[in-house]
């Protein structure tokens, strides 16, 4: 299919709307009615008719299809210790290695596991600036992959440096996670695919057909590429006796929260999903056009989604789906959507409504979703199988957020 874009579709948007009274009227697509208007009344119909057609739509029109399979060729534990973090944890740094079409790729998973747990549940999430940023642990290796510049972290020539060790400690709360009996596994996302509009690098070329230079209109953008990496991490966990592969909670913040949701939708091995401030193309309803919109995101980040998604630039009303149905694809597995009060760009209300409108699908499975359309007060989480909170503060991941995720995971995965 060839798609024509007008310049208006690319650039014709002005100021973002932050006024609730200017949200256009729109109809929320019914997750329990198929594209052919058939009512979905039970789990069987959901799984046979509706889930596959929604998954297919998101695959070919939003995130893009992964054009083939690529398995781990080999892995190497490049470093490990049974006495990490002053004896609190075990640590492993594992390279997963892939090759195809004359290209080679590897990425490293940094894994911390609580010492007193034999097969640990883990939170798995990408980080923005390298594994060494999540902790001050001097043994964590510094990735040599391309990184986005951030002078305040000492990243100036797209190379990570020692200067940023531990700078994101507050976003990960490693000790809290370990004390609660969970492990943490994290990957520097640019090792899987550098976050820039360039499809000659990262994982994409390994799956190109002869002569292909960039993904086709319905093929994977960067978000789908990052989900590919999370699924390979899952493949690895299935081989690692120290990790409970049935209790892997995929977590992500912001663009990596969008990634976590799509990973949870496409790979049912993930036991639970956490979307922290994921916004447009993540948890937020696109049709509200509040804060970031489809046109804005496709213009600023043309490499994140598949090119077909641009059809919906300033044309959200023609989308036959919305992001609540992305969340519904995760059912019946637990999903947590979190917002921040000052993060209007990500549309907290749109994130909440997605969780709410996904809930009928959870109810089919007799799981409790978000029971009321009223948004809860700030810092007052609603924690059912579908969970939601809006906390005070800005676009970030905080100690409060992690405290909620741990409490909720204890309840949903361990009935605690
Ligand atoms: C930008 C982008 C958001 C994204 C965020 C992030 O603000 O517009 O869609 O979530 O970056 O990843 O930090």
Ligand 1 pocket test: which of 255, 298, 301 has the largest number of ligand atoms within 8 Å of its C-beta?
255
Residue 323 beta carbon below 6 angstroms from any ligand 1 atom: no
**pLDDT confidence of residue 71:** 97
CA of 185 relative to ligand 1 center, distance in Å = 22
200 has catalytic annotation = no
- Whole-model pTM: value is 0.97
Question: Is 226 contained in some domain?
Answer: yes
Instruction: Give the ligand 1 atom nearest the CA of 296.
Output: 8
Question: How would you label 264-298 residue by residue, b for 16+ Cβ within 10 Å and e otherwise?
Answer: bbbbebbbbbbbbbbbbbbbbbbbbbbbbbbbbbb
Residue 295 beta carbon below 6 angstroms from any ligand 1 atom: no
Residue 292 beta carbon below 6 angstroms from any ligand 1 atom: yes
Question: Is 24 contained in some domain?
Answer: no
Find where tokens 């694809």 sit.
Answer: 329
Token pair, residue 247, equals 């209790």
Contact 197, 146 (CB under 8 A): no
Residue 344 beta carbon below 6 angstroms from any ligand 1 atom: no
**pLDDT confidence of residue 7:** 46
Question: Is 39 contained in some domain?
Answer: no
CA of 178 relative to ligand 1 center, distance in Å = 29
| Helix axis angle, 255-266 to 51-58, nearest 10° | 140
Run means of pLDDT, 10 residues per run, the chain, 416 residues: 46 79 97 98 98 99 98 98 97 98 97 96 98 98 98 96 97 98 98 97 97 97 98 98 98 99 99 98 98 98 98 97 99 99 98 99 98 98 98 98 98 96
**Candidate list 60, 103, 139, 395, residue with the active-site label:** 395
Can you tell me whether residue 107 is helix, strand or coil?
strand
Question: Is 215 contained in some domain?
Answer: yes
**pLDDT confidence of residue 9:** 46
**Candidate list 143, 164, 254, 286, residue with the active-site label:** 254
395 has catalytic annotation = yes
CA of 255 relative to ligand 1 center, distance in Å = 5
**pLDDT confidence of residue 147:** 98
Residue 254 beta carbon below 6 angstroms from any ligand 1 atom: yes
Domain of residue 387 covers 74-414
Residue 101: which region, alpha, beta or left (left: phi > 0; alpha: psi -120 to 50)?
left
Residue 297 beta carbon below 6 angstroms from any ligand 1 atom: yes
**pLDDT confidence of residue 2:** 42
Question: Is 380 contained in some domain?
Answer: yes
Question: Is 57 contained in some domain?
Answer: no
Instruction: Give the ligand 1 atom nearest the CA of 278.
Output: 10
**pLDDT confidence of residue 122:** 98
**pLDDT confidence of residue 13:** 52
Residue 343 beta carbon below 6 angstroms from any ligand 1 atom: no
**pLDDT confidence of residue 380:** 98
For position 391, which CATH number holds? 3.40.50.1820
Number of domains in the chain: 1
């Amino acid at each position: 299919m060839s798609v024509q874009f007008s310049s208006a579709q690319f650039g014709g948007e002005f100021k973002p709307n932050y006024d609730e009274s200017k949200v256009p009227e729109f109809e929320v697509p019914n997750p329990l009615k198929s594209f052919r208007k058939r009512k979905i009344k039970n789990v069987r119909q959901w799984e046979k008719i509706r889930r596959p057609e929604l998954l297919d739509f998101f695959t070919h029109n939003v995130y893009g299809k992964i054009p083939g399979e690529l398995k781990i060729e080999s892995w190497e534990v490049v470093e490990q210790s049974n006495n990490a973090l002053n004896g609190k944890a075990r640590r492993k740094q594992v390279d997963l290695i892939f090759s195809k079409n004359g290209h080679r790729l590897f990425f490293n998973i940094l894994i911390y596991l609580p010492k007193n747990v034999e097969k640990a549940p883990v939170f798995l999430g990408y980080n923005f600036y390298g594994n060494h940023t999540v902790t001050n642990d001097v043994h964590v290796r510094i990735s040599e992959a391309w990184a986005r510049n951030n002078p305040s972290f000492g990243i100036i020539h797209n190379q990570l440096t020692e200067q940023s060790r531990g700078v994101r400690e507050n976003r990960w709360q490693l000790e809290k996670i370990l004390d609660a009996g969970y492990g943490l596994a994290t990957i520097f996302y640019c090792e899987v695919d550098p976050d820039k509009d360039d499809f000659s690098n990262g994982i994409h070329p390994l799956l190109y057909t002869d002569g292909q230079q960039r993904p086709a209109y319905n093929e994977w953008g960067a978000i789908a590429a990052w989900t590919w990496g999370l699924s390979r991490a899952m493949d690895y966990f299935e081989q690692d006796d120290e990790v409970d592969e049935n209790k892997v909670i995929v977590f992500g913040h912001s663009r990596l929260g969008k990634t976590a949701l799509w990973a949870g939708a496409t790979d049912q091995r993930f036991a639970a999903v956490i979307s922290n401030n994921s916004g447009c193309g993540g948890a937020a309803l696109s049709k509200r056009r509040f804060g970031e919109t489809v046109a804005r995101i496709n213009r600023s980040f043309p490499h994140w989604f598949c090119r077909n998604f641009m059809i919906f630039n300033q044309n959200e009303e023609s989308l036959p789906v919305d992001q609540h149905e992305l969340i519904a694809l995760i059912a019946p597995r637990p999903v947590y959507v979190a917002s921040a009060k000052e993060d209007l760009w990500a549309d907290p209300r749109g994130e909440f409504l997605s969780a709410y409108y996904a809930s009928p699908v959870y109810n089919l499975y007799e799981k409790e979703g978000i029971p009321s359309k009223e948004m809860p007060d700030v810092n007052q989480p609603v924690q059912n199988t579908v969970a939601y909170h809006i906390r005070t503060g800005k676009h970030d991941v905080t100690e409060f957020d992690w405290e909620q995720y741990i409490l909720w995971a204890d309840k949903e995965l361990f009935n605690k």
